[in-house]
Amino acid sequence: MHRLKLLLKNHLFMSAFYKAVSGVALFVSIPLLIHYLGSTNYGVWILVFTLFQWVLLMDFGLSSVLKTKIPELCHSENSSLINAYIKSTYVICCFIALGIFLLFTVLFLFFDVGSFLNISFESAFVTKLFLLNIFFFCVNFILNTHKALFVSVHKGKFAEQSIAVNQLFFLLFIMIPLFLFPELKAESKLYLISCINGIVCIIVNVLYTFYLFKTEKICLFTKEKTPKTHLNSIYTLGVKYMLIQVGMLFLFSSDNYILAYFFGPKEIVPYEIVTKYFQFPLMILMAGMAPLWSLFTKNYLEKNDIWLKMSFRKFNYFYLVVLIGMLLCVLIAKPIMKIWIGNDFVVPQFLLITVAIMTSLRIFTTFYSYFFNGIGNLRSYLLLLATSVLLKIPLSYLFIKLDFGIASVVLSSASCLIVWSIVQPVEAYKIVSNLKKNE
């Protein structure tokens, strides 16, 4: 019983647990959406939903700044600035959300996105569908700030809990059209799923924001203003984090758009299913590692090189278990796919192996990326990312021309991550070794 209580209080363990719950809910929702929308229209929904991920991360790095700066303010016992700092972040987020909405409105009104992505619906419908989702996503962009704040105060499990609750409610609510409105037109189905997703996200985010403000005694009605020096640090560090976020998103989330351009929306479905299959362990491990961001900040500021080196060592040993787990995932993939998706779905073996390799590399590099983000040392990280982004499309095009098919986008990302997995650990150990020398 005592061990159970300790596990429930452990934010690393509980973050991974809640991510597993959200992963299971996501897994169950995928075949239901495919059944309700059909394969081609599900591919259209994926293109819309991927854009949602782009919008949530176009925050000029503000969420990443919060995860780094709030622990710094707590470390320096500068509590008077915390409320002002958070208020400034929300104000900036509102302006960014408005700018994003106006930008995409102009883009979709003057650019035929449906033709570009090989979407067979009328261009007017595609424009309305994307604008509806952009509206919901911009609102949730502001409300999502609570997740970074939970991590910054070392309560990361609540950020993952909110995601799990959101996924569970979305799963429950998509049952309604599945049973009550099965004969709707394809356009109406996509509108309905978009509304369910957007409204559920808003409700869950509002509830968790209120809970955070109440438990942490955060007040946005403070009269104290954030000093210009701190605002400048928000903008300076925020731009760096934004470049990282957009770069990472392009590197790993542009695949659907590249595939839609070369092969059409229907070909996205097998790629999406295989990547979602491996996303389950990826989501759990990334969620479990997420609280390390602020812990790296804290121990780096305290120059605790022993703790940092021990963390690196423990992870490197743990990574051997991860590799065994990835191998097991490959071996059991086909029977799971038959149960999960259906007997008609054929798992492309080469795609399965390449996604497993890329997922393993992502887990390894994510750990060290959290270290660089946490200590605010982003120079080498940005250089690696910028090079990878520049190479992404040329490498994908090269592999497509070599007839690797939909696995081409995976091979291009994996090629870049191999370099990351060599450079990042060397750089991290070098930084930690120099901590005491620089005192």
Residue written as tokens 């939903």? 49
Query: Inter-axis angle of helices 39-57 and 268-289, to 10 degrees?
Result: 40
Res 145: pLDDT: 82
**Backbone torsion region of residue 253, taken as left when φ is above 0, otherwise alpha when ψ lies between -120 and 50, otherwise beta:** alpha
Token readout for 385 is 């990312």
CA terminus-to-terminus distance, the chain: 44
How far is 205 from 55, CA to CA, in rounded Å? 16
The fraction of the chain above a pLDDT of 90, given in percent, is 10
Q: What is the mean pLDDT of residues 110-115?
A: 76
* Residue 204 pLDDT greater than 90, yes or no: yes
Residue 57 has pLDDT above 60, yes or no: no
- Is 39's pLDDT higher than 80? no
pLDDT of residue 199: 92
pLDDT digits (tens, 9 = 90+) for 207-256: 999 888 888 777 777 666 666 666 666 666 666 667 777 777 777 777 77
Using CA atoms, how far apart are residues 169 and 173, in angstroms rounded to an integer?
6
Residue 189 to residue 35: CA distance in whole angstroms:
12
Confidence of residue 375 (pLDDT cuts 50, 70, 90): confident
Q: Once rounded to an integer, what is the mean pLDDT over residues 97-107?
A: 85
User: Which tops the pLDDT comparison, 155 or 271?
Assistant: 271
Domain range for 325 = 2-433
**What's the rounded Cα separation, in Å, for the pair 351 and 346?**
11
Cα 14 to Cα 21, 90, 317: the distances in Å are 10, 27, 21
Comparing C-alpha atoms, which of 427, 412, 418 is closest to residue 379? 427
Residue 438 maps to a domain: no
| Domain-embedded: residue 439 | no
If one counts every other C-beta atom within 10 angstroms of the C-beta of residue 408, the result is 24
Evaluate the CA torsion angle 313, 380, 238, 143 in order and state its sign.
Answer: negative
Q: How many domains does the chain have?
A: 1
Residue 176 has pLDDT above 90, yes or no: no
| Overall average pLDDT of the 338-349 stretch | 78
Outline where 376-407 has alpha helix (H). Answer: 379-401
Task: Give the model's pLDDT for residue 419.
Answer: 92
Average pLDDT of the chain? 80
Domain presence at residue 145: yes
Q: Is the pLDDT assigned to residue 6 strictly greater than 70?
A: no
Checking if the pLDDT of 296 tops 80, the result is yes
pLDDT of the residue at 406: 83
**pLDDT for residue 248:** 74
**Element (H or E) spanning 80, and its range?**
helix 80-110
In a domain, 305, yes or no: yes
Averaged pLDDT for residues 58-85: 65
